[in-house]
Structure 1
Amino acid sequence: MGITYASEISLLPLKVRKDKHHYIVEDEATGDFYEMPEVCITAIELLNEAIPLMEIEKSLNDWYPNEDIDVMGFINQLLELELVKEIDGIPIQRSYVNHSNSTFTRIPKSLGHYFFNSISSKLYFLLLIASTGLILFNPDLFPRYSDIFVFDLMFQNVLALLVISFVLVILHEFGHVLAVRSEGLPAKIEVGNRLFFVVLETDMSQVWKLPAEKRNKLFLGGMYFDIVVLFLALASQISVTENSLTMGILKLVVLNTFIRLIFQAAVFMKTDLYYVIENQTGCYNLMENGRNFLAKWLPFLRVPETETFAGEEKFVRTYASFYLSGILLTLIITAYYYIPQMIFAINQIMLPGFFEPITSIRFWDSVVFLLQILLVLGLLIYSWTKKYRFSS
């Protein structure tokens, strides 16, 4: 459908909220959100007043002399976003998607507010300081790579790790859910995937209904619950017998929680802390713009171009340094925990098991562990080759 300056444009119902630097536009039908500068909001207001397009462009040029005004281009962008209702009275078909967020709506707002209020955030921070103090006072509490080996058999260790990880992830996500409900917003936990691995993640799309100063507790809700788990697991070790099974489980809980908290600082991934940084700076394409900034020296980091608004350049440069620091942190965690764990498991458990009789459970424990290693390596190689095929 051709659009001219004589065309009459009618938009769908949109809700506009002022953000830190620009505006958040909500498509009320789908619940989708878009960031737009002030000039676009003014254009939307004029369109809703049925002002002719030629007059809109003239007015915008007068009011925003430093902006490159292109009303026709903006209309085409609105069409791509499916925010146009009619052109010259002819309805525009759209691929309607309703993002339902009905799960957990029975959780009362008061319960969420009990865990997330002006006082609780300070308490969570104090618990983090207390956990640090416990480790400094008793360095034996600091998690070590060997804490994963609670049992003599690897299949038992793997099973224990999977069960504990699942429970702790559920607690983490429920922290997000309660934080969302504390603001009276709908929340749900979705099943997603990272390549072949199933993950749980809380739908945080409704966070854009809130002003920026209220969003951080929703992003940090999971980490707050992690901090509580870390403190309780550390404090409980003080009164537990050193060589007991309970102590082994507590150490595994600390190790699992500690690593996940550290990984939150790896902001080269979109972690909870990454979204806090985005929210604090008001730059909502920080990762993409940061990668493209680094692509000047590291071309393989380049991603499709995203818009960088005026004044965001300094935040992008700062984030780029955090991006590289996050990669370094990941390498350190791998070298300190994961590689030693693998070496220990191979030398102390898997290889000795192959010298046991074929009827021995230790022999078959080694076989299962070896198959797990080969499966992980196979998936890793497959993901690399798949990525190479798509990039080429």
Structure 2
Amino acid sequence: MNLTLNTILKLYPVSIKKDKKNYIIEDTISGDFYEMPKICVDAIEFINQKWTLGQIEAELKRLYPDEEVDVINFAKQLIDFGLVKEIDGIELKVEKSNLLMSGFSWISPRFSRLFFHKHSNMIFICLIMINLLLFLTNTELIPYYEDLFLFDSLIFNMVTFSFISLVMLVIHEFGHVLAARSFNLPAKLGVGHRFFLVVFETDLTYAWRLSPKERNTLYIAGLYFEQFILFIVLLIKLFITVRDPILSGILNFIILDLFYKAIYQCCFFMKTDIYYIFENSSGCYNLLENSKTYLRQLFSTSRDKGQELFENETRIVKVYSIFYIIGGMLMITLLIFYIIPQMYTFLKQAIMNLVNPVDPTNIIDSVLFLGLFFITSSLLLYSLIKENRRIPSS
């Protein structure tokens, strides 16, 4: 159906909410969210007043003389978004899948507010400061790569650590769920992946209904729970004599895992929870992509540095680019002092068990470990190759 300046549109119900810089438009039927500038919000309001597209374009050109106004093109975008119900009285056939969900509705918002309230963000900051102080004043609490080798069995070490890591991950995601329920929002726990690793993910789509400050509570919730667990474990290590070496080793496993997860959150070249806090606080919702573009242009050997893909965000992008580099350095540090020494020790022990067999169980243990190592390494290599093929050459 052709659109003209005489066309009159009718939209599906939408909810409009002011955000940091622009506005968040919610399709109240499907639950989809869109970010739009003020000029688009004005256009939507004029459409709801049954103005023709020509009248809307003329008024917008008067209100925004420095802006390039193309209302017909904007109307086509609204159609693509599925927001247009009728064109000149003719109803469009739009299939809207209702994304509204009632996930974890059995969790009372009142109960959730026991954990997340107006003071929870301050408590989280205090937990981080206390935990850092405990590490600085008690260096024996700092995890070492040898902490991963609690048992003689290579496989049992990996399985036990993986199980503890999974439990910590579930607790992390449940923190997001509770935070969402504290605002009476639905939450959905799904399964995703990071390279070859299967991970749990909490759908926080409906966080867009909240103010930026309230959204930060949802993003920080998983870290909040992790820091609380770390605080408890550190206190146990400091003030309770744990005579059982297995229990003491399990506590070390928890500290090591939460240490890994803290470093991961600071890897600013990925979209972690801390990244979303940066993004949400700045109002720059393409911060990672724009930072990558800026760094590519900054280190480009070509005279033509290309055109910046971000407007009015240069200062924020430059600052975040520094954190982007710091995140890469943190990951390299983690690899050098933890991951690589652990893998080297695992492989060395496995090969020694095969070259100088002492016990048949050690041989089986080594074969199982090497098989698992080969499979996971192959999957990681495959993921990296696949990811690089999707990145267009500049």
Pairwise TM-score range, normalised by the shorter structure: over 0.9
State the secondary structure of the residue aligned to 2:193: strand
- Matches of 1:225 and 1:122, distance apart in 2: 13
Match of 1:263 in 2: 264
The answer to whether 1:329 aligns with 2:305 is no
* Deviation for aligned residue 1:232: 1.1
Match of 2:180 in 1: 180
- Matches of 2:308 and 2:26, distance apart in 1: 20
Contact 2:155-2:369 at 8 Å conserved across structures: yes
Given the superposition, is the C-alpha separation of residues 296 and 183 from structure 1 closer, same or farther in structure 2, using an over 3 Å criterion? same
Match of 1:42 in 2: 42
* Deviation for aligned residue 1:177: 0.8
* Deviation for aligned residue 1:126: 2.1
Match of 1:149 in 2: 149
Match of 2:276 in 1: 275
Match of 2:122 in 1: 122
* Deviation for aligned residue 1:333: 1.1
Once the two structures are superposed, residues 113-171 of structure 1 have per-residue CA deviations (whole angstroms, 9 ceiling, x without a partner) of 10011223322322222222222222111011111111111111011011101110111
Matches within 5 A, 1:15-54: 15-54=15-54
5+ residue gaps, structure 2: 301-306
* Deviation for aligned residue 1:57: 0.7
Given the superposition, is the C-alpha separation of residues 313 and 80 from structure 1 closer, same or farther in structure 2, using an over 3 Å criterion? farther
- Matches of 2:213 and 2:382, distance apart in 1: 43
**Structure 2 letter corresponding to 1:85:** K
Match of 1:232 in 2: 232
Contact 1:288-1:306 at 8 Å conserved across structures: no
Matches within 5 A, 1:212-251: 212-238=212-238, 239-241=240-242, 244-251=245-252
- Matches of 1:204 and 1:141, distance apart in 2: 34
**Structure 2 letter corresponding to 1:360:** P
- Matches of 1:110 and 1:27, distance apart in 2: 27
- Matches of 2:184 and 2:388, distance apart in 1: 45
Tell me the TM-score normalized by structure 2: 0.92
The count of aligned residue pairs is 385
- Matches of 2:24 and 2:154, distance apart in 1: 51
Match of 2:12 in 1: 12
Given the superposition, is the C-alpha separation of residues 202 and 391 from structure 1 closer, same or farther in structure 2, using an over 3 Å criterion? closer
Once the two structures are superposed, residues 239-270 of structure 1 have per-residue CA deviations (whole angstroms, 9 ceiling, x without a partner) of 23467111100001000011101211112111
* Deviation for aligned residue 1:230: 0.8
Given the superposition, is the C-alpha separation of residues 147 and 359 from structure 1 closer, same or farther in structure 2, using an over 3 Å criterion? closer
Moved more, 367-376 or 34-43: 367-376
Match of 2:374 in 1: 374
Given the superposition, is the C-alpha separation of residues 306 and 168 from structure 1 closer, same or farther in structure 2, using an over 3 Å criterion? farther
State the secondary structure of the residue aligned to 2:169: helix
**Structure 1 letter corresponding to 2:126:** L
State the secondary structure of the residue aligned to 1:34: strand
**Structure 1 letter corresponding to 2:3:** I
Match of 2:291 in 1: 290
Once the two structures are superposed, residues 303-358 of structure 1 have per-residue CA deviations (whole angstroms, 9 ceiling, x without a partner) of xx9974x42222122222222221221111111110011112222x2122113448
Contact 1:356-1:363 at 8 Å conserved across structures: no
**Structure 2 letter corresponding to 1:374:** F
**Structure 2 letter corresponding to 1:282:** G
5+ residue gaps, structure 1: 300-304
State the superposition RMSD in angstroms.
2.0
State the secondary structure of the residue aligned to 1:62: helix
* Deviation for aligned residue 1:85: 1.1
- Matches of 1:366 and 1:378, distance apart in 2: 18
* Deviation for aligned residue 1:386: 2.5
- Matches of 2:72 and 2:158, distance apart in 1: 59
- Matches of 1:330 and 1:297, distance apart in 2: 22
Once the two structures are superposed, residues 260-282 of structure 1 have per-residue CA deviations (whole angstroms, 9 ceiling, x without a partner) of 01211112111111111111111
- Matches of 2:192 and 2:97, distance apart in 1: 18
- Matches of 1:55 and 1:306, distance apart in 2: 34
Match of 1:302 in 2: none
State the secondary structure of the residue aligned to 2:297: coil
Tell me the TM-score normalized by structure 1: 0.93
Match of 1:89 in 2: 89
- Matches of 2:120 and 2:53, distance apart in 1: 51
State the secondary structure of the residue aligned to 1:190: strand
